[in-house]
């Protein structure tokens, strides 16, 4: 069933009454420069952001994204991350750097979830550019780690998972 044209109304801890329209099918019609290796559902199942990131957003996204998600509503837990290490900066850091778009107050992953879900917005090009810039970390893993060695540069690998790069395969 097509969700295109559906209006999503967000009421969570960080947004009240925010609305957007799904203008594309879920997981479809991405900018050709944007080729994430993981879906939001896969990221949540692998373990990202210490399980804390999306705990109050379940009503906004498809329920199946959360069936096997590693989440903890009480606090950030590094043990829930795929590589078992904290690779996050606090939201205050992202705000200070000016990286937060007003419509996505949680940052890049919220933007990505909404983009994947089918929303398109004026911030898309900037966020895709930020995603593309993470390739420098892929290059560092390739230059400094034996392929497939998940113990090499775990923080960098976890950070790449946060940006939808499948660092398990590097």
Q: pLDDT tens digits, the chain, 170 residues: what are they?
A: 678 999 999 999 999 999 999 999 999 999 999 999 999 999 999 999 998 888 898 899 999 999 999 999 888 899 999 999 999 888 888 889 888 899 999 999 999 999 999 999 999 999 999 999 999 999 999 999 999 899 999 999 999 999 999 999 99
Read off the pTM. Answer: 0.94
The reported pLDDT for the residue numbered 1 is: 66
> Which residues on adjacent β-strands are paired with residue 8?
20
The reported pLDDT for the residue numbered 20 is: 98
Task: Give the Cα separation of 70 and 42 in Å (integer).
Answer: 10
Token representation of residue 12? 């969570």
Token representation of residue 152? 């090499």
The reported pLDDT for the residue numbered 25 is: 97
Whether the Cβ atoms of residue 73 and residue 56 lie closer than 8 Å to each other: yes
Q: CA geometry: angle at 109 spanning 103 and 110, to 5°?
A: 35
């Amino acid at each position: 069933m097509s969700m295109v044209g559906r209006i999503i109304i967000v009421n969570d801890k960080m947004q009240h009454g925010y609305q957007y329209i799904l203008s594309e099918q879920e997981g479809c019609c991405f900018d050709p420069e944007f080729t994430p290796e993981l879906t939001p559902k896969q990221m949540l199942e692998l373990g990202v952001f210490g399980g804390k990131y999306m705990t109050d957003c379940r009503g906004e996204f498809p329920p199946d994204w959360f069936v096997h998600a590693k989440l903890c509503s009480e606090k950030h837990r590094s043990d829930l991350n795929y590589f078992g290490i904290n690779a996050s900066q606090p939201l205050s850091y992202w705000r200070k750097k000016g990286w937060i778009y007003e419509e996505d107050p949680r940052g890049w992953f919220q933007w990505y979830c909404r983009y994947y879900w089918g929303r398109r917005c004026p911030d898309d090009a900037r966020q895709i550019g930020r995603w593309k810039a993470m390739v420098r970390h892929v290059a560092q893993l390739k230059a400094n780690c034996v392929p497939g060695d998940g113990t090499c540069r775990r923080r960098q690998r976890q950070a790449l998972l946060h940006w939808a790069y499948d660092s398990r395969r590097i």
